[in-house]
Amino acid sequence: MKTKLQIHSIFGKLLFEYECEDNTIAKTVTEAVKSSADLSFANLNSADLSSANLSYANLSCANLRSANLRSANLSFANLRSANLSFANLISADLRYANLRSADLSSADLSSADLSSANLSYANLSCANLRSANLNSANLSSADLRYANLSSAKTGKRYIQIACIGSSKRMTTYCFEDDIIWCGCFKGTLKEFEKQCKETHKNNKQYLNEYLGAIKYIKSIAKDTPKSTTAQQD
């Protein structure tokens, strides 16, 4: 029996419809992506999209709260500002995905591949990132409070320091990769220290805030095995 399913925006606008035998929301969304349909602002709350091929999908600002995206292919997808809170993204392929400003709070991203993904300004508070691949991911100003970043594969450790500098933004450092993200800056801790001294040489307050944070990070880095941590000068 053929069934027609529709995808509406969060404002009620019809974005796409598809009819086929034994139709499901996963089939409909997959067909929409194949047709290059614009699914920005799509309302897919609690949708079962497990194992769906959504590579290159435009799901910016979409409501995917509590959606099942387990093992879904979201590589190169545009998920900017999407609501993915409480979503199941276990083992999902999110390579090169744009997740800037996305809400991933309490999402399960365990074993997900987030390599080279843009997670800047994303809300990852309380997210499960255990064993996730964050290689080359952009975590600048992302909120990682209470997130589980333990990884059996990489063992990478992160630290975040909030409310420092002129913008009071999040500053995130990865010990194993010796990479720090702060606003638009991404580089080594040594490069960051040099940049801070140059940028804030005429503002003692901000300079002291950044240098204090750098000193604190260095003090923790001393306890990390030299075999896995880049050396600081």
The residue type found at 31 is E
The structure's pTM equals 0.85
For residue 180, being part of any structural domain is answered with yes
For residue 192, being part of any structural domain is answered with yes
Please count the CA atoms within 13 angstroms of the CA of 227 that sit on its side-chain side.
2
> What is the tens place of the pLDDT at every residue in 53-98?
999 999 999 999 999 999 999 999 999 999 999 999 999 999 999 9
For residue 122, being part of any structural domain is answered with no
Provide the mean pLDDT of the chain: 91
Structural domain tally of the chain?
Answer: 1
For residue 46, being part of any structural domain is answered with no
List the domain range (segments joined by +) for residue 161: 157-233
Closest CA to 185 of 218, 155, 214: 214
For residue 151, being part of any structural domain is answered with no
User: Which residue(s) pair with 88 in the sheet?
Assistant: 68, 108
For residue 187, being part of any structural domain is answered with yes
For residue 5, being part of any structural domain is answered with no
Residues 6 or more apart whose Cβ sits within 8 Å of residue 97: 74, 75, 76, 77, 78, 79, 114, 117, 118
- 130: number of Cβ within 10 Å: 18
Is residue 14 a contact partner of residue 38, using CB atoms and an 8 Å limit? no
For residue 185, being part of any structural domain is answered with yes
